[in-house]
Structure formats: structure tokens, C-alpha cells
Amino acid sequence: MAGSLSLLRRVYLSLYNWAVFIGWFQVLYLAVKTLWESGHEEVYNAVERPLQFAQSAAFLEILHGLVGLVRSPITATLPQISSRLFLIWGILWSFPEVQSHVLVSSLVISWSITEIIRYSFYGMKESLGFSPSWLQWLRYSTFILLYPIGISSEVGLTYLALPHIKSSEKYCIRMPNKWNFSLEYFNVAVIAIAFYIPGSPHLYRYMLGQRKKVLAKSKAE
């Protein structure tokens, strides 16, 4: 029974990782192609659907951690996935005014390279039981440059959306209402930006610690 569950877990995680890998590969291909042929103004339109699919699928990783399918701590997974989903749906999809900004290109390219490496790394581990050392090095090294680029792009796009959030009053809840509750989406966006101040260094230090531990273990073997 335990062996069957273990096999089922590996098959599921393998299919999940390779499916999302394909999604991110499509995002990167379309982003680079569009950037080269049409300029950064058209990148979002070209990648919107595969980007939404690939990033939204990451929500399952929170569930994977909660039920014990993977060892990744929720404290590291939840903030990163939540901030990305907020950016994808709460900013880019909700406020088209920022979709043509050059920061969309830096965001999409940094995210997609990072995730292509990550999902291929885990996909190979689940499918074959191992991954090449060079891929492991890329998995635990490329974030050193790509993470700051991605974070800067996220913060920048949220900041650029603030005037449009305020003027549109989208997603605002006004009183009086039956819940006796009000919500200013502008304040939500400002709070989201503020969370990057403690959150980003914490996650970056965690990833550096993981890099040191994993690569040291790899050398020892």
C-alpha cells in the first residue's frame, strides 16, 4: 500500500512539474519573440493566457505543502505565490494601463527563466529519481540575479498601478452595506508593497541558506 501511494505521488508530481514547465517555456518563448519583433508594449498581450495558467497552477504547491506531498515550508511558499497571484490578477489583469510597461518584460522573463529551471529540476527528480549537477547548480544559483529583478518589477508595476487603482475605485467596498464593512483596494495595494520590505529579504536569505546547504551536500557526495 505504501509503495503504491509513493508511486502515485511521484507520477502526480512528475506530471504537475512537467505541465507547468511547458507553460513557463511557452511564456518565455512568446515573451522573447514578441520583444524582438514588436517591442515591450506587446509582451503582456502575447503571454497573458499561458502566464495566468502557469502562475495560477502554483497555488497547488501550497496544497502540496499542507498535505505533505513536498517538504517545502509553507512560510516560504505562501508569501511568494500569494504576491505573484496578486500581481497577475490584482494588478496586471485588473489594470490594463500598466500592461504595456517595460517592467512587464523584465518580470515575465525573470519569472519564466527561474521557473523553467525549477520545474525541470523537480520534474527530472520525480521522473528519473535524479537531476544533473549542472541543473541543480542553476536551480540554486540563478535566483541570485533573477530574484531581485523579479521583485523590483513586481513592486514597480504595483506602484505604477496605484493612480489607476485610486481613480477607478475598482474592488472597493463602500458603506453602508449588509456586512458593515468597507475596503479601499488602494490601501490593499500599498500594504502589498509594504510587505515586500520585510518579506523579500527574508525569502532571499532563506534561498541563500538553501543554496549553501544543498550545494555543500552535493560536493560532499
Q: What sign has the CA pseudo-torsion 64, 66, 70, 76?
A: positive
Is 154 assigned a catalytic role? yes
- The Cα 119–Cα 131 span in angstroms is 11
- From the candidates 37, 122, 154, 206, give the one annotated as an active-site residue: 154
Q: Would you state the pLDDT for residue 42?
A: 97
Q: What is the pLDDT of residues 108-118, one digit of tens each?
A: 999 999 999 99
Q: Please tell me the pTM assigned to this model.
A: 0.91
- From the candidates 147, 169, 196, 206, give the one annotated as an active-site residue: 147
H or E element in which residue 135 lies:
helix 133-139
Domain extent for 172:
2-220
Q: What is the pLDDT of residues 129-145, one digit of tens each?
A: 888 989 999 999 999 99
Domain count, the chain: 1
Q: Is residue 49 a contact partner of residue 173, using CB atoms and an 8 Å limit?
A: no
Q: Would you state the pLDDT for residue 3?
A: 62
All three cell numbers of 98:
500598466
Q: Is residue 98 a contact partner of residue 104, using CB atoms and an 8 Å limit?
A: yes
Q: Which residue has the cell 560536493?
A: 219
Q: Would you state the pLDDT for residue 178?
A: 74
- Low-confidence stretches of the chain (pLDDT beneath 50): none
Is 119 assigned a catalytic role? no
